[in-house]
């Protein structure tokens, strides 16, 4: 058995043990191997044709219809991800990723904003959680967001197999907080939660993170209202009538972009990219977020009272675009530390792209809630294995003092494919002369 074949078998052991039934234990390695292996399509039928032509029905049943609980495998993935990159200085990145879909029968499909396309499109949206450290991401959660067109139709959700407890309207931030609770309960270690403005604009999300004693740095829209950090609460004397029962701030809240407009911006670099150091200008000030309870303030109508003290950070990019962020990093945090935390979020986008391009995250052709989430789980397990192999190889090379650059995830995947293929050379079809790789036999259950 090839070295990489042994590595995959060993990696999957704790997952396979939690599946119980013998047939399920057989199908899991085949499915993961199909995701890692060669082939343009990573849906069930083409993977079965490549790896187990006589077991398509079993493979389909395993993902779409089989009665087994994904919870223990999700918990094991959390454990393995923590072993790979978990630490007090790790980041937990919250984001979402879109899976373009035609029609309207697949669970969660609706016209909605797709970040990868930069526009509204017919797609499914998965809320994602990625554990990352030293620019090494490991996805640990993918949960489908159901838009109003689905949550308002109980029959439609029942037909798609949405669990009864989840047939309710939940925002993406609410889904993210539930997933964070699951990971904390599983013992996953991380230091700071990161998210873009799609989550950061939610006061409930920010307050939920703080209530869990988590450190966070999130994007916000430029019009997010904030107060100066030294804002005071006063009781203005009324000229007539009864005295005020509630205090009000001594200054009005201001848009984030206005607060930072007169700040000093400093050029900083946070990491080296493929074309050199990545740089931008940053500015930061201490503020109080205007997300407290709403209250009538003088003649200005209902205004949000001052909430938690935090950092307001601005990023001025080379294309003249400006972005804004809030963070509850300590008061002593430097501008460079704030910038490094904010820009660490990019690794989740890298993981999303690799899971789609290399492992077929967006290739699932079923329509059910259960099938989609099981396919996503297998994709995350396959990705975690490749990252494990990548770091193991880099560590071994470092030990041998050869000093080459760290192998990339696609390079590791190609190496695994070669090993799983038992080193059979590419051959040509006698009819169409197209070159193809022999099916890896040793990964099939005996």
Q: What is the DSSP string of 10-50?
A: HHHHHHHHTT-SHHHHHHHHHHHHHHHSS-S--SHHHHHHH
User: Is residue 307 domain-shared with residue 386, that is, in the same domain?
Assistant: no
Strand 233-234 relative to strand 254-255, pairing: unpaired
Looking at residue 21, its pLDDT comes to 83
| pLDDT confidence band for 444 (50 / 70 / 90) | very low
User: Is residue 304 domain-shared with residue 395, that is, in the same domain?
Assistant: no
Mean per-residue pLDDT of the chain? 88
In a domain? residue 378: yes
Q: How many domains does the chain divide into?
A: 2
Which range, 3-17, 72-86, 398-412, is most confident?
A: 72-86
| pLDDT confidence band for 344 (50 / 70 / 90) | very high
Helix (H, G, I), strand (E, B) or coil at 330: coil
Looking at residue 385, its pLDDT comes to 96
User: Is residue 317 domain-shared with residue 222, that is, in the same domain?
Assistant: yes
Looking at residue 103, its pLDDT comes to 86
User: Is residue 225 domain-shared with residue 306, that is, in the same domain?
Assistant: yes
User: Is residue 317 domain-shared with residue 373, that is, in the same domain?
Assistant: no
In a domain? residue 227: yes
Cα–Cα distance measured from residue 342 to residue 194, given in angstroms and rounded to the nearest whole number? 7
Looking at residue 290, its pLDDT comes to 95
In a domain? residue 34: yes
Looking at residue 420, its pLDDT comes to 61
179: Cα within 13 Å, side-chain hemisphere: 29
| pLDDT confidence band for 238 (50 / 70 / 90) | low
Number of C-beta neighbours around residue 117 at 10 A: 11
Strand partners, 95: 128
In a domain? residue 387: yes
141 backbone φψ class: left, alpha, beta (φ>0; ψ -120 to 50): beta
pTM (global) more than 0.75? yes
DSSP per-residue codes, 142-176: EEEE--HHHHT-HHHHHHTT--GGG-S---HHHHH
pLDDT digits (tens, 9 = 90+) for 135-179: 999 999 999 999 999 999 999 999 999 999 999 999 999 999 999
Domain end position, chosen among 274, 302, 328: 328
Cα–Cα distance measured from residue 215 to residue 191, given in angstroms and rounded to the nearest whole number? 7
Looking at residue 200, its pLDDT comes to 97
224: Cα within 13 Å, side-chain hemisphere: 30
Q: Which residues lie closer than 8 Å to 415 by C-beta, 6 or more apart?
A: 4, 389, 407
- pLDDT > 90: percent of the chain: 70
Cα–Cα distance measured from residue 239 to residue 382, given in angstroms and rounded to the nearest whole number? 70
Taking 50 as the threshold, does the pLDDT of residue 431 lie above it?
no
pLDDT digits (tens, 9 = 90+) for 52-73: 899 999 999 999 998 999 999 9
User: Is residue 286 domain-shared with residue 372, that is, in the same domain?
Assistant: no
Looking at residue 2, its pLDDT comes to 59
Looking at residue 226, its pLDDT comes to 97
In a domain? residue 31: yes
| pLDDT confidence band for 428 (50 / 70 / 90) | very low
DSSP 317: -
Domain end position, chosen among 328, 355, 388: 328
User: Is residue 318 domain-shared with residue 259, that is, in the same domain?
Assistant: yes
In a domain? residue 126: no
Number of C-beta neighbours around residue 325 at 10 A: 28
User: Is residue 389 domain-shared with residue 321, that is, in the same domain?
Assistant: no
Q: Maximum distance among all alpha carbons in the chain?
A: 97
User: Domain range holding 302?
Assistant: 218-235+245-328
In a domain? residue 398: yes
| pLDDT confidence band for 242 (50 / 70 / 90) | low
Looking at residue 118, its pLDDT comes to 78
- pLDDT > 70: percent of the chain: 87
Taking 60 as the threshold, does the pLDDT of residue 405 lie above it?
no
Distances (CA, A) of 213 to 196, 268, 287: 20, 29, 19
User: Is residue 390 domain-shared with residue 320, that is, in the same domain?
Assistant: no
Q: Which residues lie closer than 8 Å to 3 by C-beta, 6 or more apart?
A: 419
Domain end position, chosen among 302, 328, 354: 328
User: Is residue 230 domain-shared with residue 303, that is, in the same domain?
Assistant: yes
Q: Which residues lie closer than 8 Å to 63 by C-beta, 6 or more apart?
A: 31, 44, 366, 371, 374, 375, 378
In a domain? residue 306: yes
Q: Name the token pair of 415.
A: 């190496």
pLDDT digits (tens, 9 = 90+) for 179-212: 999 999 999 999 999 999 999 999 999 999 999 9
Strand 225-228 relative to strand 254-255, pairing: antiparallel
User: Is residue 294 domain-shared with residue 392, that is, in the same domain?
Assistant: no
User: Is residue 230 domain-shared with residue 317, that is, in the same domain?
Assistant: yes
pLDDT digits (tens, 9 = 90+) for 315-341: 999 899 999 999 999 999 999 999 999
Q: Which residues lie closer than 8 Å to 82 by C-beta, 6 or more apart?
A: 131, 186, 187, 188, 189
Closest to 335 measured CA to CA, from 264, 231, 262: 264
């Amino acid at each position: 058995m090839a070295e990489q074949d042994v590595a995959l078998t060993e990696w999957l052991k704790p997952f396979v043990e939690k599946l119980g039934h013998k047939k399920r234990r057989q199908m899991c390695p085949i499915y993961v191997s199909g995701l890692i292996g060669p082939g343009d399509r990573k849906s069930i039928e083409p993977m079965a044709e490549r790896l187990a032509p006589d077991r398509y029905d079993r493979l389909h049943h395993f993902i779409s219809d089989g009665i087994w609980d994904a919870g223990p495998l999700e918990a094991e993935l959390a454990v393995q991800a923590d072993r790979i990159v978990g630490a007090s200085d790790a980041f937990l990145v919250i984001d979402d990723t879109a899976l373009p879909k035609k029609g309207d029968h697949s669970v969660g499909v609706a016209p909605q904003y797709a970040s990868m396309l930069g526009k509204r499109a017919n797609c499914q949206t998965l809320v994602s959680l990625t554990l990352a450290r030293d620019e090494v991401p490991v996805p640990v959660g993918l949960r489908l967001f159901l838009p109003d067109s689905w949550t308002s139709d109980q029959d439609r959700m029942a037909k798609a197999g949405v669990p009864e407890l989840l047939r309710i309207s939940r925002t993406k931030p609410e889904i993210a907080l539930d997933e964070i609770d699951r990971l904390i309960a599983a013992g996953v270690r991380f230091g700071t939660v990161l998210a873009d403005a799609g989550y950061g604009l939610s006061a409930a999300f920010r307050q939920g993170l703080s209530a869990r004693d988590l450190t966070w740095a999130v994007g916000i829209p430029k019009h997010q209202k904030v107060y100066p950090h030294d804002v005071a609460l006063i009781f203005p004397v009324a000229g007539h009538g009864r005295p005020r029962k509630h205090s009000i701030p001594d200054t009005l809240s201001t848009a984030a972009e206005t607060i930072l407009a007169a700040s000093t911006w400093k050029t900083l670099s946070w990491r080296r990219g493929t074309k050199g150091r990545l740089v931008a200008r940053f500015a930061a000030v201490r503020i109080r977020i205007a997300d407290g309870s709403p209250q009538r303030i003088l003649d200005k109508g209902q205004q949000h009272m001052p909430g938690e003290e935090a950092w307001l950070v601005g990023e001025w990019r080379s294309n003249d675009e400006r972005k804004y962020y809030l963070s509850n990093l300590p008061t002593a945090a430097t501008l460079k530390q704030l910038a490094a935390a904010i820009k660490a979020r990019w690794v989740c986008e890298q993981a999303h792209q690799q899971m789609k391009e290399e492992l077929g995250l967006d290739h699932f052709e079923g329509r059910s809630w259960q099938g989609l989430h099981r396919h996503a789980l297998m994709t995350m397990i396959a990705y975690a294995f490749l990252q494990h192999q990548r770091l193991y190889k880099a560590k071994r090379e470092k030990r041998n003092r050869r000093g080459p650059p760290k192998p990339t995830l696609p390079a590791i995947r190609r190496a695994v494919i070669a090993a799983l293929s038992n080193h059979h050379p590419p051959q040509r079809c006698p009819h169409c002369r197209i070159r193809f790789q022999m099916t890896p036999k040793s990964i099939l259950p005996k």
